[in-house]
Chains A and B, each alone.
Chain A
Amino acid sequence: MKSRLAYLLPVLIFVGLLGFFFKGLFLDPKAIPSVLIDKPVPNIDLAALPGRGDTGLKTEHLKGQVSLVNIFGSWCVACVAEHPYLMKIKAEGVVPIMGIDWRDDPAAGMAWLQKHGDPYLRVGADPAPGHASVDFGVTGAPESFIVDKDGRIRYKHVGIIDDRVWKQTLLPIIKELQK
């Protein structure tokens, strides 16, 4: 009995490894878990885009209500694809969207919004080297954060917000936090 177990052991180890490798096949190596979840939003004080009519984006604007903070840039190709969906979220009026115009010329960011539509309640300019965006741990655009009423980061989404991401992931979290 004992020796049969000894022969079985390598097979069991092999099957175990196989399990790990199989799981590894479906992991996203680009997905970097954020260390900022449940932490307060960083201290930011960003200037407004020229001619947009708000006063920019500060930490205090991210308190008192649940908000969606979206990192974008006029240079960002994926942001163009995401944009119509942000317009739709704005039209539904579920949650205010705050924009951070990342490593961009503020005038170019403004022109981009005039061309494609402006889904944001407030927008802050964060030109290179993008201190505020680095404080948010941003790795690319677009990237979005759900911030709760107390100004804590509760969720980070890397990449485009589309119908599936919005309905399955973001909206339920926002609804829960708004209670």
Chain B
Amino acid sequence: MKRLILILAAIAVCAPALAVDPGEMLKDPALEARARDVGAELRCVVCQNQSIDDSDADLAKDLRQIVRERITAGDSNDQVKQYLVDRYGDYVLLRPPFNAKTLLLWLGPLGLAVAAFAVGLGYYRRQKRESLPPSPLSAQERQEVERLMKDRN
């Protein structure tokens, strides 16, 4: 039991693996925390599916440093991200922005779900209508049927 607690404690203490090394960190913990927030949302343009905080690439390291320089110089988080978007495009953001170009990306799945629901509903209604018993004949139709039957006999 004691050993289990020790193991669990050891796991809990383990920090998530980051590429950020202590030498890069800012002295001010609040600014460093902001740099981490920004870094986690920026794509490493060399490795593509990692954030610059997760990547060991040299360029990611440089970008981490530049993010810290801009934050220290007084930029807001959005200004830092915009600084890199101006140079690398929306591509550098791990979370794509919502604009005319990405409309389909954001709303496509929702649109497909709505379309599927509409088709399903239409199908259900048609099935229901077809399974109803036929409506009774009108007086005129009944007369017509009787006339035809008489002719046959």
Contact = CB atoms under 8 A, between A and B. Distances in A.
Do A and B pair up? The answer is yes
Interface of A: 29-30, 32-36, 103, 128-131, 134-140
Contacts of A103: 58, 62
Interface in B81-131: 85-89, 91
Contacts of A33: 89
B18 interface: no
Contact of B61 (A35, A129, A136): A129
B46 A139 contact: yes
Identify which of B46, B58, B63 gathers the most chain A CB atoms within 10 Å of its CB: B58
Contact of A129 (B48, B62, B86, B89): B62
17 contacts: A32-B91, A34-B89, A35-B85, A35-B88, A35-B89, A103-B58, A128-B62, A128-B65, A129-B61, A129-B63, A129-B65, A129-B66, A131-B66, A134-B62, A134-B63, A134-B66, A139-B88
Contacts of B85: 35
Nearest to A139: B45
B7 interface: no
A135 B87 contact: yes
Contact of B58 (A35, A128, A137): A128
A103 B57 CA distance: 13
Nearest to B88: A137
Given A130-B62, A134-B66, A135-B87, 15 more contacts: A29-B48, A32-B88, A33-B89, A35-B86, A35-B87, A35-B88, A35-B89, A103-B58, A103-B62, A128-B61, A134-B63, A136-B87, A137-B88, A137-B89, A140-B46
Contacts of A36: 87
Interface in B55-73: 58-59, 61-63, 65-66
Interface residues of B, number: 16
Helix, strand, loop or mixed for chain B's interface?
helix
Contacts of B87: 35-36, 134-137
Interface of B: 45-46, 48, 58-59, 61-63, 65-66, 85-89, 91
Contacts of B63: 129, 134
B104 to A, nearest CB: 13
Contacts of A129: 61-63, 65-66
Contacts of A138: 59
Nearest to B85: A35
B94 to A, nearest CB: 14
Contacts of B86: 35
A148 to B, nearest CB: 20
